[in-house]
Amino acid sequence: MWEPPFVYPVTIKITKDMKNKLERACTERCTSRSEFIRVHLDKILSEIYPKEHMKEGG
């Protein structure tokens, strides 16, 4: 089972629109939701929370 390399110290509010986009991308590109999360989680979070903010702790 895949484990994340570290825990993001943030809480993300998933809007209905975001959820729909994630599910559509998962259906189109990946064989399972876990595969989608494994491949795309870092990219998604880096877009929402830029790396500079992560380094500063928030």
| Per-residue model confidence (pLDDT) at position 6 | 64
Cβ proximity of 15 and 48 under 8 Å = no
Question: Which has the closest alpha carbon to 40: 25, 24, 20, 57?
Answer: 25
d(CA 12, CA 7): 13
Residue 58 has pLDDT above 50, yes or no: no
* Residues 3-55 pLDDT 10s: 666 665 666 677 788 777 777 766 665 566 666 666 677 677 777 766 655 55
| Per-residue model confidence (pLDDT) at position 17 | 80
DSSP-assigned letter for residue 5: S
Listed by start position, the domains of the chain span 16-55
pTM of the model: 0.28
Handedness of CA 26, 30, 34, 36 (dihedral sign): negative
